[in-house]
Structure 1
Amino acid sequence: MGGAFLAAAVLARVGGRIGLPTIPLFILAGILLGPHTPGVVLLDDPHDLEMLSALGLVLLLFYLGLEFHLDDLKKGGRKMALAGGTYLALNVGAGLGFGFALGWGTSEALVLAGVLGISSSAIVTKVLVDLGRIGNPETRPILGIIVVEDVFLALYLAALQPILSGADSLGAAVLDGGKAFGFLLLLALMARFGTKLVGKLMNTEDDELLVISFLGVAVFVAGVSEWFGVADAIGAFMVGLMLGSTTSGPRILKLVHPLRDAFGAIFFFAFGLSINPGDLPSVLWPVLAAVAVTVLMNVFAGMATAKIYAFGPKATANVSTTLVARGEFALILATMAAGAGLDERLSPFIAGYVLLLAVLSPLAAGRSHWLARILPGGRTRNRETEKEAVPV
């Protein structure tokens, strides 16, 4: 554990001096010190960090929920659903088409639809925080799209599980999907109507008791969410949504910050441990093609979101580049595919695809103004800005 933290810290410090984001550096630390590369091996089994990694993801999404106020959901629900639905239609549809084009099989294509279609909540959250964009107007639609993706994720996993396991019971699939949706609905109702009660229960002037209380609630609900077939991350997000609207919300936001950073680093480090660089060359061209498809679909999705919210080129570029990242959900699908005995090329493909986008997304998001220049209206906006800047 100490080695993992120190390796992530050293690489992040070095990267910071040359302007690199921390996410790919944490992942690189995991690759270099994992069992698949020569030299020092901190952990022979990446699963040794599984619980701490899960805690990092829970805290990242819990923090996101604290920032995403309930009023934002109520005000922009229709636009959020439209933007999220458009994003999923473009990316999941492209992923399904790409999967069939590879010719690896129907089950493999269904897995790839999810891999290419759904963003990494953890990486998107970290990028927004690192770039100081939490308060930007385009951030609310970005977070809204993530919420819609997570709702879709719960239903998608429930439908995919019986297909991968070979089950032919439609009733079982419908039951699992209904259970997941029902629990999501319960969480939403609690977030909408239970805020005052939760606020009273959480209210305390003692920081120690407050930390123990909000950690207990966030982790417990995340665990229960998994039992109902809902991603643990969305359960933590809903708890953050509830607590962010209470009188203790600002204090919780401040107290969870260092915990989020520490265990978030372990999440990305553990992701790196699972990657075997030796498997990547065999799937290099499919990975590059998938990355190109994802980038293109995200630009289209960003333009569609901008049209819904009447954003300019700069905000459009921010939406397009921030949502490019793929991560934890793709790794879950890789594990499911391996357990189901699907094509052995899937695991290295997913690892290479996720790694490349984990590196590309923070870099692209930090330089989104380059994309803004070539989007419709971008050059015109730049000329207007230049004219305004000329002294009279």
Structure 2
Amino acid sequence: MGHAETLIALGGAFVAAAVLARLGGRIGLPTIPLFILAGILLGPNTPGFVLIEDPHTLEMLSALGLVLLLFYLGLEFHVDDLRSGGRRMALAGGMYLLLNVGAGLGFGLALGWGTAEALVLAGVLGISSSAIVTKVLVDLGRIGNPETRPILGIIVVEDIFLALYLAVLQPLISGSDGLGGTVLQVAKAFAFLLLLAVAARWGTHLVGRLFRIKDDELLVVSFLGAAVLVAGVGELFGVADAIGAFMVGLILGNTTSGERIRELVHPLRDAFAAIFFFAFGLSIDPGDLPSVLTPVLLAVTLTLTMNVIAGLVTSRIYGFGPRPTANVATTLLARGEFALILAAMAASAGLDARLSPFIAGYVLILAVVAPLVAGRSDWLARVLPDRRPAERSTAEPPVTADR
């Protein structure tokens, strides 16, 4: 694709996403499924006008969108939250993974497509989409809600698990590298995560001095460069770029420049997030869905059920009432970028050909349904039990739709 064609494709992607989002806003629809729909309709997998023939055209900009979303997530997550609530965060995240990854593994084995395929499906059904979760929290205005800290904590635990999971899964499904290679990959990923954790715990003061910049332009260049660089280095060590960007945001959010960085990153985050979800739609072929429709619908039902159970478990850990519980269960419902990475890994390893259309259909349905369900979480809250002591449960206001 030539330079002019690339610019037309990029400009068309922005315009299409904006038009659909404005139309959806008039009838109360969230932006995420509309951005994805724009990518599907203008991509190579649907009939009619094709704006972008090759989904890889927007690959780098899409990666930048994911980095900025997770960088913003880190800015909103404070080191004090890790210090004061680290044990509960680890317990809630661990229980979420146990329930969802375990259910995914059981579902994969029940399908009978093979053991390697079941291991892939365990990750597909078990890990939330960090990008969609972050966008849902922003769009619904829930960043300051009490349940948002546990939601972010679960995302952090998932991303750490993801780094180690990918390091182990790759040699298992490809049959290469052996035990030594697997151990080395896990060790590299763990060492990089440990280095980031040390920087977040003890390096904030030093980093704060480096980013004490008066000029907004230089500050934007500096924090954007740091987020992208660390995300790229993380990829080299077998750690998802998302967790690298998140940790940079976590560190910078606790510096004296943190508030300015939050304000400056907003327009960048929103613009490139739109491209991320548009590119996400380009990669999905809805024509593949009919061949695997039954297992996809079963998987979606299973995910809905396990997320409600995980929300109830989280509410017991944190002492939440029905409304925060419903928000936890519905906000973490989406599956996305990680599942598509697993689909690519499965295809390159020569696993069952049904995996790719299954993952595409499953991700498409949840990516569209999850933001809609999250916006109507008060419906679920009305039927959830309130297991808190009477003196505590009376403090929570009546269930209403929150934005």
TM-score with structure 2 setting the length = 0.94
Give the alignment partner of residue 32 of structure 2, picking from 23, 32, 36: 23
What is the CA distance between 1:377 and its match in structure 2? 2.5
Q: Does 1:7 align with 2:16?
A: yes
CA distance in 2: counterparts of 1:383 and 1:177, whole angstroms: 47
Equivalent residue, structure 2, for 1:219? 228
Q: 2:150 corresponds to which letter in structure 1?
A: P
- Alignment match, 1:204: 213
Contact 2:321–2:396 at 8 Å: present in 1 too? no
Please give the per-residue CA displacement for 1:139-182, whole angstroms capped at 9, x wherever unaligned: 00000000000010000000001012212611110110010011
- Structure 2: state its 5+ residue gaps: 1-9, 399-403
Aligned equivalent of 1:318? 327
Amino acid at match of 1:266: I
For residues 128 and 308 of structure 1, what CA distance do their matches in structure 2 show? 21
Counting only pairs closer than 5 Å after superposition, residues 364-383 of structure 1 correspond to structure 2 as: 364-377=373-386
Give secondary structure in 1 for the equivalent of 2:273.
Answer: helix
Q: Distance in 1 between matches of 2:93 and 2:287?
A: 36
Residues of 2 paired with 1:228 and 1:57: CA distance? 18
Q: Give the Cα–Cα distance (whole angstroms) in 2 for the partners of residues 352 and 386 of structure 1.
A: 38
Check 1:170–1:251 CA distance in 2 against 1; reply closer, same or farther (3 A cut). Answer: same
TM-aligned CA deviation for residue 204 of structure 1: 1.1
Q: Which among 339, 347, 363 is matched to residue 348 of structure 2? A: 339
2:247 is aligned with 1:238: yes
Give the match for residue 390 of structure 1: none
CA distance in 2 between counterparts of 1:384 and 1:206 reads: 46
Once residues 243 and 346 of structure 2 are traced to their aligned partners in structure 1, the CA distance between those partners, rounded to angstroms, is: 22
The reply on whether 1:114 has 2:123 as its aligned counterpart is yes
| Aligned 8 A contact 2:140 2:375 in 1 | yes
Q: RMSD across aligned C-alpha pairs, in angstroms?
A: 1.6
C-alpha displacement at 1:43, in angstroms?
Answer: 1.0
Query: Could you say what secondary structure the match of 1:76 adopts?
Result: helix
Q: After TM superposition, give the deviation of residue 248 of structure 1 in Å.
A: 0.5
Q: Distance in 1 between matches of 2:254 and 2:98?
A: 32
Match of 1:76 among 78, 82, 85: 85
Residue number in structure 1 paired with 2:272: 263
Work out whether 1:348 is the aligned partner of 2:332. no
Distance 2:344 2:313 in 1: 33
Q: Which residue of 2 aligns with 1:47?
A: 56
Partner residue of 1:360?
369
Equivalence map 1:88-107=2 (5 Å): 88-107=97-116
Return the alpha-carbon distance in structure 2 between the equivalents of residues 384 and 57 of structure 1.
Answer: 38
- CA distance in structure 1 between the aligned counterparts of 2:397 and 2:263, rounded to whole angstroms: 40
**Correspondence for 2:401:** none
Unaligned runs of 5+ in 1: 388-392
Cα distance between partner residues in 2 of 1:384 and 1:30: 44
Helix, strand or coil at the partner of 1:250: helix
The number of equivalent residue pairs is 386
- Kindly provide the amino acid, as one letter, of the partner of residue 134 in structure 2: T
Q: Which amino acid is 1:35 matched to?
A: P
Read off the aligned partner of 2:114 and give its amino acid letter: G
Q: Deviations over 1:207-256 (max 9, x none)?
A: 00000000000000000000000000100000000000011000000000
Name the amino acid aligned to 2:237. Answer: F
CA deviations 1:27-80 (Å, max 9, x no partner) are: 000000001111111111101111000000000000000011111111100000
- Partner residue of 1:303 out of 312, 318, 324: 312
Q: Taking every aligned residue pair, what percent have the same amino acid on both sides? A: 78
For residue 174 of structure 2, the aligned residue among 165, 173, 176 is 165
Q: CA deviation at 1:386?
A: 9.8
The answer for the alignment partner of 1:291 in structure 2 is 300
What is the CA deviation profile of residues 11-40 of structure 1, one whole-angstrom value per residue up to 9, with x for unaligned ones? 001111111100000000000000111111
Measured in 2, the distance between the counterparts of 1:195 and 1:242 equals 6
Using the alignment, how far apart are the partners of 1:168 and 1:151 within structure 2?
Answer: 22
Q: What amino acid does structure 2 have at the position aligned with 1:49?
A: L
Structure 2 residue identity aligned to 1:251: R
Query: 1: CA distance between counterparts of 2:375 and 2:98?
Result: 26
Q: Secondary structure at 1:280's aligned position in 2?
A: helix
Look up the match of 1:87: 96
Taking structure 1 as the reference length, the TM-score comes to: 0.96
Asked if 1:282 is matched to 2:291, the reply is yes
